[in-house]
Amino acid sequence: MLKQIKPLQWLNLGLLCTSLAISSIAIAQTPEEKGLAIAKERKLRDKGWGDTESATKMVLRNAEGEESIRKMRLKALEVQGDGDKGLTIFDEPRDVKGTAFLNFSHIHEADDQWLYLPALKRVKRISSRNKSGPFMGSEFSYEDLASFEVEKYTYKLLREEVVHGENSWVIETIPTDKFSGYSKQIIWIDQSEYRVQKIDFYDRKKSLMKTLSFLNYRQYLNKYWRANTMSMVNHQTNKSTDLITESVEFRVGLSDNDFNKNSLKRLR
Amino acid sequence: MKNRFLHLIVAKPWLVLLVGILAVVALSYGGKNLYFRGDYKIFFGDDNPQLQAFESMQKTFSKNDNVSIVVEPKSGSVFNKETLELIAKITEDAWQTPFSLRVDSLTNYQHTEAEEDDLIVDYLVSEFSDVEITDEMIEKTKRVSLAEPLLVNRTISPSGHVSMVNITVQLPDKLDQTQDVVEIAAFVREIVSKYQAEYPEVNFYLTGVIMMNNSFVEESQGDMASLIPAMFLAVLIMLSILLRSVLATVATLIIIVTSISATMGFSGWLGMYLSTATISVPTIVMTLAVADCVHIISSYYYNLRQGMSNDQAIEQALEINFSPVLITSATTAIGFLTFNFSDVPPLRDLGNLVAFGVMLAFVLAITILPAFLKLLPIKVKKRDDSNFGKMEQFAEWLIKNRKLVLPASTLVIICVAALVPLNKVNDVPTEYFAEDIQFRYDSDFMDEHLLGVTMIDFALDTQEASGINNPEFLAVVSEFTDWLRAKDEVDHVISLSDTFKRLNKNMNGDDPEEYKLPEQQDLAAQFLLMYEMSLPYGLDLNNQINLDKSSLRITVTLDNIGSGEIVAMERDVQNWFADRSPNTKVTAASPSLMFAHIGERNMQSMLTGSSLAIVLISGLLIFALRSLKLGIISLLPNLAPAAMGFGLWALYSGSINLGLSIVTSMCLGIVVDDTVHFLSKYKRARVLGKNAEDAVRYAFASVGKALWITTLVLFTGFMVLAQSSFSLNGDMGLLTATIILLALAVDFLFLPAFLLLVDKKVYKIDGESEYVEANQASTVA
């Protein structure tokens, strides 16, 4: 699932790739071509991360300022040529402990999703077209957390500006899937490492709905950048959610066998 | 001091005019700060406990300000291709509504069912309107919706003849949301008018909190656009009849216009906003200002006819009217100032502004008005006033028949006043609007055919994270839901216990036997998690569950019952939980509940306010009349009209809303004027050595006509207000007009008859003829 890691990872593929990419961006003419070229480069730089295992804390806040915490572990597997695979195991709240969510992300069709319910000791498939809904009552929807794939959007470079102290491209992206909950997103991608710094989400009526900020980026394996904190603020409801990565390990040796219906039941 | 001041006005009219106009312009300039607030929240102070509970609940869960679109196909059923298509189209368009958070309809309802071992959560009809609706889909929609407690009696009527699309909006947190409300209403109306043209076989109705707020705005503007001109017209007609002079009418109109604009400008300087209540200020100030002017101009005319010079006539008119007009303005202002006891901010504003306006009108009437009279070339033919004869005839008739008049009038007063307890405090916000207003019509339609617009949210707080998944708590919720549904006045209940039962059934292969609550907490929690993960944008459970799942919200929709019943319902619910589940913390909140409580509380505080008004005004009278006895006697004609007015109201309507709660205080300040005039003349005759009979004759002869005239002016003014489309203002105008009329009857019949009975002793003769009025002036000025 929960390639919540994914959007964080824009990598740097080394000097060669970088120079190639930059030259392709330079060649691009229209704002649309430039936007697409940047998106491709963003994807390219994160290529090859393999698999990860991480522990994550989600802090939910309502307009009253009350907080609630969810804890979960995430396993993710990079899939070439399609969306990635993800597995989320819930640890808190206690009454959903051990519940596990398996997600096969797809580029051109609806994701495949299963949920293992330990209280029932059964795996249930769930309809996943509704990817626009909130994840665990938070301000994140699945689609915010799903793996980034270039084909999911159309692009247009709007301008350049400094955000979080980084010179960034500001790109308007429009989802190609009509089941998306958004009419568009405005994305700030820094020019130094092709990391997403900020995203503004516009709802279906084209009003600004949420802003996601990527904070405390760290580099892993000398290559892959991950934001330690993803902070989502809903401007309409004044609710917010922070997604905080407590630990992350790369290349722990996960394979397809760890991401199937049977593997769900083996989890603890 | 007074005389020197009055002389200055006549001596230097240009100076007075200049200073006066400058002051008026400076005050009026504040009008630039005025803005209109149309939302219902203005009726509640920031510290109102129900408002605070409501705000807090909205922050904990989600907002539920809404617009409802009800569709009624003339075919009598919504279960056909055309209507479902229409609902899907409206649903899709409704998502485009500014500030919308969620849209609930028959077509986008998230239906859950088992399919082999999987849970299917999907749109009952379709997310988008561009799908082909098959007979099979129609049949399924009918079967599912009519059996689903979440939908039936809310989204769909049990007979399937009407269906509702509900749009929940989240207005930005700011003080003045009027523009946003108007924008939303305009957008939704646009949707409806589009489909009205396309689907002539379908009736559409628009209601909900947003439409109510919008109607507050529209009808207030309508009132301002119709009542104020109507009032000007009425004033013009009255003045031209009473004054028979174009120039005098112009002078009076100038006083009215300057009083109103300075008063409204003053409110702008104070940072006040216009509201449904304060839009009555111009009409009321106008009414009271006219009365002042008429008194002064009548005397001025009288003096001219008596052959006085212009200057002399003005000075004399001011001289004899200064004190009575000051006293009556002061008593009226006191009555309005006691609105400060009200719990409703706009009513406090109304009271303070009118009080300010009345005193300002007094000042302008004794400064600018005489200055105009001096400068304008007013000519009056010398002639005798013949009307005095009629008043004297009436006095004779009364003195002759007093043995009949007193018991008869007493009996009528007692009998009518005895009806007062039949009135009930009742604040139903939709009923603030007249029945011919579209919003009221649509709301009544929805109440009759689908569900009421009265709503209460109950937050059930387990005070423990994840507590809502606890099977024991869920059992309580389920019982509570059943208990609510068994009540006659309850139309619909949104309860998570239904959702849990449905999920339990779905997770057990849709076995109807399994339509019951999950038996373990982890099972319930995991079913809920799975369901939540399957819901799309805008259709989540955040409106029913709080963050840490310690609290859930039950939404109860009721028939349009009165505020007393709503408060009783809230109490019953608290008692039910105290008995059945004392650990659950129950909070009730909703606009309906806020209005229900404010009505009751405001009535209590306005009773205090009215009592204080009685004490203050009677005290002022005792002081002004220099007679404890007359002061106490005056209580009867001062209070009887209000008592009778409310008695008649019990026969006419019987329900007392916020607008009526202020009537007693207001009327007291106004009707006391009649008594002041009558008793002061009566006493003047008595201290000159006349007996009660002659004093009554004198009082009728000297102020009888003036009382007729002011009563006519005030009655007309408040009858204009009674035409308001807001019952809040309209009822207040109607009842006040009635009471003013009754006050004249009481002062003309009961009061003199009563004086003749009880005031038989001989007064100590006082040589000073101007005693009463001179004394009034020196003490109050």
* CATH code of the domain covering residue A122: 2.50.20.10
pLDDT of residue B650: 92
- The 10 Å Cβ neighbour count of residue B115 is 13
Chain B contacts in chain A segment 26-85 (CB below 8 A):
60-64, 66-68
B526 touches chain A (CB under 8 A): yes
Query: How far out from the chain centre does Cα B670 lie?
Result: 20
Cα angle, residue B390 at apex, residues B385 and B393 outer, rounded to 5°:
135
Q: Is the dihedral of CA B378, B381, B387, B388 positive or negative?
A: positive
Q: Which of A62, A136, A205 sits opposite B95 (nearest CB)?
A: A205
ipTM for the predicted complex comes to: 0.85
Provide the number of structural domains found in chain A.
1
DSSP assignment, residue A127?
Answer: -
CB of A236 within 8 Å of a chain B CB? The answer is yes
pLDDT level of residue B30 (50, 70, 90 thresholds): confident
| Chain B positions in Cβ-Cβ contact with residue A204 (cut-off 8 Å) | 95-96, 537
- Residue A172 CB burial class (10 angstroms; 0-12, 13-18, ≥19): buried
**B775, pLDDT greater than 60:** no
CA distances from B440 to B285, B433, B434 (A): 29, 6, 7
| Location of structure tokens 């397809």 | A256
A133 contacts in chain B (CB < 8 Å): 532-537, 539-540
Contacts (Cβ under 8 Å, ≥6 apart) of B712: B238
**Cβ partners under 8 Å of residue B607, min gap 6:** none
Candidates B446, B413, B412, B419; CA nearest to B430 is B446
pLDDT of A200 reads 95
Chain A residue numbers touching B548 (CB-CB < 8 A): 66, 68, 93
The pLDDT averaged over each successive group of 10 residues in chain A (268 residues) is 43 45 63 88 87 93 88 90 88 89 84 86 77 83 84 90 91 88 92 92 91 93 91 91 92 86 73
How much is the mean pLDDT over chain B?
A: 86
Task: Give pLDDT, residue A12.
Answer: 42
Closest CA to A192 of A55, A67, A18: A18
Whether A1 is in a domain gets the answer no
Q: Which of B99, B170, B548 should be substituted to probe chain A, the one whose Cβ sees the most A Cβ atoms within 10 Å?
A: B548
Return the HEC string of B250-300.
HHHHHHHHHHHHHHHHHHHHCCCCECCCHHHHHHHHHHHHHHHHHHHHHHH
State which residue of chain B sits closest to A99, comparing Cα positions.
B526
For residue A156, the SS3 value is strand
- B605 vs B664: CA distance, rounded Å: 12
Backbone angles phi, psi at A35, to 5 degrees: -60, -45
Residues 6+ apart with CB under 8 A from A65: none
Residue B419 class from Cβ within 10 Å (0-12 exposed, 13-18 middle, 19+ buried)? middle
Contact B547 A96 (CB under 8 A): no
b/e per residue B527-563 (b: at least 16 CB within 10 A): bbbbbbbbbbbbbbbbbbbbbbbbbbbbbbbbbbbbb
Question: What's the sign of the alpha-carbon dihedral B653, B656, B657, B658?
Answer: positive
Which of A61, A103, A120 to mutate against chain B (most B CBs within 10 Å)?
A120
Q: Do A60 and B547 touch (CB under 8 A)?
A: yes
Grade residue B765 by pLDDT with cuts at 50, 70 and 90.
low
Q: A243, A81 in Cβ contact below 8 A?
A: no
B535 contact residues in A (CB cutoff 8 A): 130, 133-134
d(CA B121, CA B110): 6
Asked whether residue A2 is domain-assigned, the answer is no
Given a cut of 90, whether residue B360 has pLDDT beyond it is yes
For the stretch B502-533, pLDDT in tens is: 999 988 888 888 899 999 898 899 988 888 88
Sort B296 into a burial class: Cβ within 10 Å, 0-12 / 13-18 / 19+: buried
Which amino acid type is present at position B519?
Answer: E
* Domain assignment of residue A237, yes or no: yes
User: Does any domain span residue A107?
Assistant: yes
How far apart are alpha carbons B567 and B592 in whole angstroms? Answer: 10
Pairwise CB contact (< 8 Å): A127 & B120: yes
B128–A90 CB contact, under 8 Å: no
Q: How far is B466 from chain A (nearest CA, A)?
A: 7
- ∠ CA B343-B66-A183, nearest 5°, is 135
Q: Does A120 touch chain B (CB under 8 A)?
A: yes
Contact B530 A134 (CB under 8 A): no
Q: Least CA distance to B467: which residue of chain A?
A: A95
Cβ <8 Å between A68 and B465: yes
Identity of the amino acid at B542: N
Q: Which domain, by its residues, includes A17?
A: 7-266
**Cβ-proximal residues to B144 (8 Å cutoff; 6+ apart), any chain:** B111, B124
**pLDDT tens-place string over residues B660-688:** 888 888 888 888 888 888 888 888 888 88
> Three-class SS of residue B71?
strand
In tens, the pLDDT along B631-647 reads: 888 888 888 999 999 99
Q: State the count of interchain CB pairs (< 8 A) between A and B.
A: 145
Bridge partners, B461 (sequence order): B551, B585
- Give the start-end residues of each E strand in B290-425: 424-425
A145 contact residues in B (CB cutoff 8 A): none
The CATH 1.20.1640.10 domain(s) of chain B lie at 1-33+245-385, 386-418+604-781
Cis upstream peptide for A31 (omega within 30°): no
Exposed, middle or buried, A247 (CB in 10 Å: 0-12/13-18/19+)? Answer: exposed
- Residue B774 pLDDT > 70, yes or no? no
* Residue A171 in tokens: 């790109």
Q: Is B119 an 8 Å CB contact of chain A?
A: yes
Average pLDDT over residues B120-147: 86
**For A120, which of B100, B173, B523 is closest by C-beta distance?**
B523
Q: What is the DSSP letter of B430?
A: G
The per-residue b/e assignment along B226-258, b for 16 or more CB within 10 angstroms, e otherwise, is ebbebbbebbeebbeebbebeebbebbbbbbbb
- For the segment(s) B386-418+604-781, the CATH number from 1.10.8.350, 3.40.50.720, 1.20.1640.10, 3.40.50.300 is 1.20.1640.10
Q: Closest Cα of chain B to A12: distance in Å?
A: 34
Looking at the domain assignment, is residue A79 inside a domain? yes
> Residues of chain B with pLDDT > 90: what percent?
30
Burial state string for B597-623 with b = 16 or more CB within 10 A and e = fewer than 16: bbbbbbbebbeebbebbbebbbebbbb
pLDDT at site A173: 94
Beta bridge partners of B66: B168
Tell me the fold of B1-33+245-385: Multidrug efflux transporter AcrB transmembrane fold (1.20.1640)
User: Which residues does chain B have within 8 Å of residue A205's beta carbon, measured at their own beta carbons?
Assistant: 95-98, 100
> HSE of B468 in the Cβ direction (CA atoms, 13 Å)?
24
Q: What is the pLDDT of residue A27?
A: 63
Of B121, B525, B537, the CB nearest to A181: B537
